[in-house]
Amino acid sequence: MRKEYSALINRLFTKARNEGVIQQPIQNDTFNGRDVIVNGKRQLFWASCSYLGLETDERLKRASIDAVERYGTQLSASRAVIESGQYGELESLLSEIFGKPTLLAPTTSLGHISVIPIIVHELDALIMDQKVHNSVQNAILMARDEKIHVETLNHNRMDFLETRIQILLQKYNRVWYFLDGVYSMFGDLAPYDDLKYLLNKYPNFHIYVDDAHGLGWAGKNGAGTTIRDLGWHPNLILTTSLAKSFASCGGALVFDNEEQKSLIRNCGSSFIFSGPIQPAVLGASIAAAKIYLSDEIYTIQKDVNELITFFIDYANQLCLPLITSAHSPIFYIGVGKLEVGKKLMRFLMAQGHFATSMGFPAVPMNNSGIRVCITRNHTKADIKEFLDLVTEGLIMLLHEVDQDLTDVYDAFGISPLATNNI
Ligand SMILES: Cc1ncc(COP(=O)(O)O)c(C=O)c1O
pLDDT (tens digit per residue) in 262-313: 999 999 999 999 999 999 999 999 999 999 999 999 999 999 999 999 999 9
The CATH number of residue 331's host domain is 3.90.1150.10
Percent of the chain with pLDDT over 70: 99
Of 259, 292, 325, the residue that ends a domain is 292
Q: Are residues 327 and 344 in the same domain?
A: yes
14 and 77 together in one domain: no
* Alpha-carbon span 365 to 257, nearest angstrom: 44
Give me the count of residues in the chain.
Answer: 422
Q: Please give the tally of structural domains in the chain.
A: 2
Residue 208's identity, in one-letter code, is Y
Q: Are residues 23 and 121 in the same domain?
A: no
Residue 224 lies in a domain: yes
**Residues in contact with 192: Cβ distance below 8 Å, sequence separation at least 6, in sequence order:** 225, 226, 229, 230
For ligand 1, what atom is nearest to the CA of residue 109? 11
Q: Which domain holds residue 99?
A: 58-292
Burial of 35 (0-12, 13-18, 19+ CB in 10 A): middle
Considering the domain architecture, whether residues 155 and 256 belong to the same structural domain is answered as yes
Whether 288 and 304 share a structural domain: no
151 phi, psi to nearest 5 deg = -145, 170
422 within some domain: no
Residue 190 lies in a domain: yes
Contact, 373 vs 47, CB < 8 A? Answer: yes
Model confidence at 417, in pLDDT bands (50, 70, 90)? low
Give 368's strand partners: 336
Say yes or no: 282 and 318 in one domain: no
pLDDT class for 257, splitting at 50, 70, 90? very high
Q: What is the atom index within ligand 1 of the atom nearest the CA of 213?
A: 1
Q: 285 in a domain, yes or no?
A: yes
CA distance 8 to 254: 38
Same domain, 239 and 376: no
Instruction: List all residues whose CB is within 6 A of at least one atom of ligand 1.
Output: 107-109, 133, 135, 180, 184, 210, 212-213, 241, 243, 251
CATH value at residue 109: 3.40.640.10
Q: Is residue 50 part of a domain?
A: no
Residue 249 Cα: closest atom of ligand 1: 10
Q: What pLDDT sits at residue 376?
A: 98
Instruction: Single out the residue in 270, 292, 314 at which a domain terminates.
Output: 292
C-beta of residue 202 within 8 angstroms of C-beta of residue 168 = no
One domain for residues 189 and 279: yes
277 and 347 fall within a common domain: no
Q: CA 265, CA 257: separation in Å to the nearest integer?
A: 13
Residue 53 in any domain: the answer is no
- How far, in Å, from the CA of 144 to the mean position of ligand 1? 21
Q: What is the pLDDT of residues 138-194, one digit of tens each?
A: 999 999 999 999 999 999 999 999 999 999 999 999 999 999 999 999 999 999 999
Distance (angstroms) between ligand 1 centre and the Cα of 383 equals 26
Q: Are residues 304 and 394 in the same domain?
A: yes
* C-alpha 249 – ligand 1 centre gap (Å): 10
Domain limit, last residue, from 269, 292, 315: 292
Structural domain contains residue 218: yes
Q: Among 11, 31, 14, which Cα is nearest to 23's?
A: 14
Best mutation site among 49, 132, 137, 184 for ligand 1 pocket (most ligand atoms within 8 Å of CB) = 184
**Cα 135 to ligand 1 centre (Å):** 7
> What is each CA distance from 22 to 314, 330, 336, 341, in whole angstroms?
27, 18, 18, 12
Query: Is residue 130 domain-shared with residue 76, that is, in the same domain?
Result: yes
Q: Residue 372 falls within a domain, yes or no?
A: yes
Q: How far is the CA of 402 from the centre of ligand 1 (A)?
A: 38
